[in-house]
Amino acid sequence: MKLHAAAILVIFWLGIFTVHTVKGSVGSQPMRKLSCVSLSTQQLNIRNLVSYEKQKAPVNAIMFITTKGIKICVSPNQKWVQAAIKKIDQNHATKRK
């Protein structure tokens, strides 16, 4: 009887181990990328912006990243946004040289 119970216990633990190995842990799952769902209407100071990301869904937006790491979403159709993108691209091109 003890051997039977031990065999069942071993099979149970092998099953748990297999499920855990196949599924992976939470730490091994890729992080979801932050996306814009609302847009700021305030014009940002271009000197405080270090990079940007373009986004098409769920809304068409530009996500600016500030020198402090803050991410702010804005509409890409504004003139100041296009000027900021151009300035950031120029700064990155200068740093690569």
The CATH fold assigned to 2-96 is: OB fold (Dihydrolipoamide Acetyltransferase, E2P) (2.40.50)
Give DSSP secondary structure letters for the chain.
Answer: -HHHHHHHHHHHHHHHHHHHHHH--GGGSPPPPP--SS-B-SPPPGGGEEEEEEE-SSS-EEEEEETT--EEEE-TTSHHHHHHHHHHHHHHHHHH-
- Better-scored residue on pLDDT, 48 or 29: 48
Question: Can you give the pLDDT at residue 94?
Answer: 82
Which one-letter DSSP state was computed for residue 44? P
Name the most confidently modeled range: 16-25, 28-37, 57-66. 57-66
Rounded Cα distance between 61 and 2, Å, is: 65
Q: Which residues in 40-49 are b (16+ Cβ under 10 Å) and which e? A: eeeebeeeeb
Question: Can you give the pLDDT at residue 36?
Answer: 87
Report domain extents, the chain: 2-96
